[in-house]
C-alpha cells in the first residue's frame, strides 16, 4: 500500500503533542503540510515540528493536489464546515471529536460521503487501542460473564478562559461534556455493544464562562445494562473506567490512553475476599499511530473504520439527550 500523504488544518496543541509525532513515526503515513490562519504561525509551527510545507490559509492547503488526507483539530464548532470543505476539495477527512454537534449535520456529512466517495472519520484514538479491543472481545464471548454495569470518569483541571474548551459555549461545543465526557460514553457504548435508550444528567455551569464544568450522567441500555459517568474541568486528572459482570469487576487504568512505552493491560477482580483473579497484558502500542494507519487503510481498501459516521450519529444522539435531560431534570429518551 502506498504511503498516505497528510495535511493538517490549524496549529493545534493536540496535533503538536500527539498526532504529529505518531503520524511521523508511522512508516505508512507522511505528513506533508500544515496550514494556519496566520502565515508566519504556520511557518514557525512547520519548522518546530519538521513539517515540509506550510500554508497561510486552510483553503490554500486544501488546494494542494499532492495531499490526500486531512486531519482537522480545529475548535469544535468549525469541524463540520471544514470537513465539508475538505471533502469538496477531494480529500479524505479525519476530524477531531466531537465531529458534529447535531444530527442534521451528521446526516449532511453522510450524504456528502456517499456523493464524493471520500472517507470521513471521527478521531477517537481510544477506539484503536488493542487493550480495549481485547476487553470488548471478552465481553462479546462472555468469557468474564455478562456485562451489566460500567462506571467511567474523565476529570481534569482547566479554568483558562482562552482555552477552546472554555472560550465557546456548550451550544458551540465548549465545556466538559463535549470535550471529555464523550470518552466514557464512546467506550461504554462500545463495550455494551448496543445503544442506550434512556438517560439522566446533572450539569453544573461555570457562572462566568458559560460552559459545563462538572457533569454526571446515567444511561440505561436495552438489555438491562446500566452505566454512570462523570466529567469535569475543576478536578485532578482522573481517566479510569470500571466494568462489572455477574462474576467480576474489571478495572482499566488510564482507560482512554494506550501506553506506547511499555506493556499495559487491565485487572479482573473476584469478590472482595478474592482480590485480583486474572490480569491481562497487551504489548505497548500508540493508539494515535494506529488511528491514522487504520484510517488510511480504510480509505484505500474500504474496510470499516471504527470512528465511522454511524458511530458519530449514535454518540451524538446520546450527548444531545444528556443535554436535554440536564435542562429538564427528567429521564429523556435517546
Ligand X SMILES: NC(=O)c1ccc[n+]([C@@H]2O[C@H](COP(=O)([O-])OP(=O)(O)OC[C@H]3O[C@@H](n4cnc5c(N)ncnc54)[C@H](OP(=O)(O)O)[C@@H]3O)[C@@H](O)[C@H]2O)c1
Binding site for ligand X (CB under 6 A): 10-14, 18, 36-38, 41, 73-76, 78, 96-97, 123, 125, 164, 179
CB of 143 to ligand X, least distance (A): 30
CB of 276 to ligand X, least distance (A): 29
Q: Which is nearer to ligand X, 147 or 252 (CB)?
A: 252
Hey, how many other C-beta atoms are within 10 angstroms of the C-beta on 189?
A: 20
CB of 275 to ligand X, least distance (A): 33
Residue position matching grid coordinates 470518569: 153
Q: Which is nearer to ligand X, 67 or 268 (CB)?
A: 67
Environment class of 276 (CB within 10 Å of its CB; exposed 0-12, middle 13-18, buried 19+): exposed
Q: Which is nearer to ligand X, 36 or 298 (CB)?
A: 36
CB of 167 to ligand X, least distance (A): 7
Helix (H) or strand (E) segment spanning residue 120: strand 120-123
Helix (H) or strand (E) segment spanning residue 269: strand 264-269
Q: Which is nearer to ligand X, 125 or 325 (CB)?
A: 125
CB of 140 to ligand X, least distance (A): 25
What is the torsional sign of CA 67, 73, 75, 81? positive
Contact 232, 215 (CB under 8 A): yes
Query: Which residues are CB-contacts of 54 (< 8 A; sequence separation ≥ 6)?
Result: 33, 34, 35, 36, 39, 42, 43, 45, 46
Q: Which is nearer to ligand X, 76 or 245 (CB)?
A: 76
Amino acid at each position: 500500500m502506498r504511503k498516505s500523504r497528510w495535511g493538517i488544518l490549524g496549529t493545534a496543541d493536540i496535533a503538536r503533542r500527539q498526532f504529529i509525532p505518531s503520524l511521523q513515526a508511522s512508516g505508512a503515513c507522511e505528513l506533508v503540510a500544515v496550514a494556519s490562519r496566520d502565515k508566519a504561525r504556520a511557518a514557525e509551527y512547520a519548522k518546530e515540528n519538521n513539517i515540509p510545507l506550510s500554508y497561510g490559509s486552510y483553503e490554500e492547503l486544501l488546494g494542494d493536489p499532492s495531499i490526500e488526507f486531512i486531519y482537522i483539530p480545529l475548535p469544535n464548532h468549525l469541524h463540520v464546515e471544514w470537513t465539508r470543505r475538505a471533502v469538496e476539495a477531494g480529500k479524505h477527512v479525519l476530524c477531531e471529536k466531537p465531529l458534529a454537534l447535531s444530527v442534521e449535520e451528521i446526516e449532511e456529512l453522510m450524504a456528502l460521503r456517499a456523493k464524493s466517495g471520500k472517507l470521513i472519520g471521527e478521531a477517537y484514538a481510544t477506539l484503536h487501542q488493542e487493550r480495549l479491543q481485547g476487553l470488548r472481545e471478552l465481553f462479546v464471548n462472555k468469557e468474564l460473564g455478562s456485562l451489566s454495569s460500567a462506571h467511567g470518569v474523565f476529570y481534569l483541571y482547566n479554568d483558562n478562559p482562552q482555552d477552546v474548551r472554555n472560550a465557546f459555549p456548550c451550544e458551540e461545543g465548549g465545556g466538559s461534556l463535549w470535550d471529555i465526557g464523550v470518552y466514557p460514553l464512546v467506550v461504554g457504548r462500545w463495550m455494551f455493544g448496543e445503544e442506550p435508550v434512556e438517560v439522566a444528567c446533572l450539569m453544573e455551569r461555570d457562572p462566568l464562562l458559560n460552559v459545563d464544568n462538572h457533569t454526571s450522567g446515567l444511561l440505561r441500555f436495552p438489555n438491562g445494562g446500566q452505566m454512570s459517568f462523570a466529567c469535569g474541568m475543576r478536578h485532578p486528572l482522573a481517566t479510569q473506567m470500571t466494568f462489572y459482570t455477574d462474576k467480576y469487576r474489571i478495572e482499566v487504568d488510564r482507560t482512554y490512553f494506550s501506553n506506547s512505552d511499555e506493556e499495559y493491560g487491565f485487572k479482573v477482580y473476584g469478590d472482595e475476599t478474592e482480590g485480583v483473579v486474572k490480569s491481562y497484558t497487551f504489548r505497548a502500542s500508540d493508539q494515535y499511530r494506529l488511528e491514522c494507519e487504520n484510517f488510511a487503510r480504510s480509505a484505500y481498501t474500504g474496510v470499516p473504520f471504527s470512528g465511522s459516521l454511524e458511530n458519530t450519529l449514535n454518540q451524538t444522539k446520546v450527548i444531545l439527550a444528556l443535554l436535554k435531560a440536564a435542562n429538564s431534570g427528567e429521564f429523556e429518551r435517546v
